Structure 1
Amino acid sequence: MQTNNKTDFSDETSETIQKKVIEDIEQSASELNGLWKVFSQLQTQTKQWSTLTFELFLLELSNSIDVVKRLIVCQILFISLLVLFLFSASVGVGVVTYYFTASLIISYGAFLFALFVILAGLVRYQQYIMQFMGFKQTVAQIKEGLDVCTQQASKSNPDEKARR
């Protein structure tokens, strides 16, 4: 009879151990499944972020190309008007000193003032266009994404160390 009790007790103990092992395996599988889901979500979010960052890069590249085209046209106009302005100024000085008439001086002053206003407007427009050139937004977006990733990594590291 005692041998039967020992066998029953050992059977119960082995069944209990097997149940604990099965529960541990199920819990480990559940944790692995949860980690896999988190990894999949992180992978999806990282893919979306990189896709959106690349689209932002292409958008800013397109914007910069358009700005460069406009800048070239503005430079051509600016240089040609600058040449005309300098030529007009030298001709005007010669004409004014030659004739010394009040009406000619006033008309020449109005002409120079108009050219000056045009040149000043082109300079302002050129400065306005220059602010759109570059990849400031893309660089800021990439820095923001990297900061978020490093903060998440630093937050997850203490959690993992505490679990161990």
Structure 2
Amino acid sequence: MKHALDFWYFTETSDAGDPVAVESSADLERVLGEVFAYKQFHPTVVCVKDRPALGGPLNLPDHQLKFDLDVPRRVAAIHAMGVPDFLPADDRAKVNAEGHGTAEETPGGVMRAWVTKGSRARPATVRQADDHEVDLFVDFDTRTRFPADAAISWEELREALKELAETGMRPTCVDWQESDVF
């Protein structure tokens, strides 16, 4: 791993107030094991430790990944946001199919957001709470769901996190779609 990651997640003894550092593949496997084993009261948040901060009074990172899990179905979805240079160079040059400009045309401090685009689509209809469909949330408090086609496998989630630790940028091993949720 070229980049250490900070994870915020819940365990039996931790309320996700302080980050857990991941500096090796063994650390990543241990943390993912804990995330999968314990109920998460908010999506798990991940940041690259050595990326720049935005400054200001909170000194927030210039990026963030967060993910939610459906443990019984072994699927997840990832929400990513960041400044243009959080994107790998090849992705920065692409023009979004929806008419958005390239990342180079976006001012440096402007955050953009994406969610995974998986092949595990679920109906986008309103469902009863007990219908046992996959529900993955970008934000639990506001009940903001991931899009119906955002679900990816746990293996894809693991690979995306490994790539994040290797490159320090938004992973390319999963497909992404623009999001208006920050």
The interval holding the TM-score normalised by the smaller chain is under 0.3
Tell me the TM-score normalised to structure 1 length.
0.19
Instruction: Point out the structure with the larger strand share.
Output: 2
Q: Which structure has the larger Rg over C-alpha atoms?
A: 1
Tell me the TM-score normalised to structure 2 length.
0.18
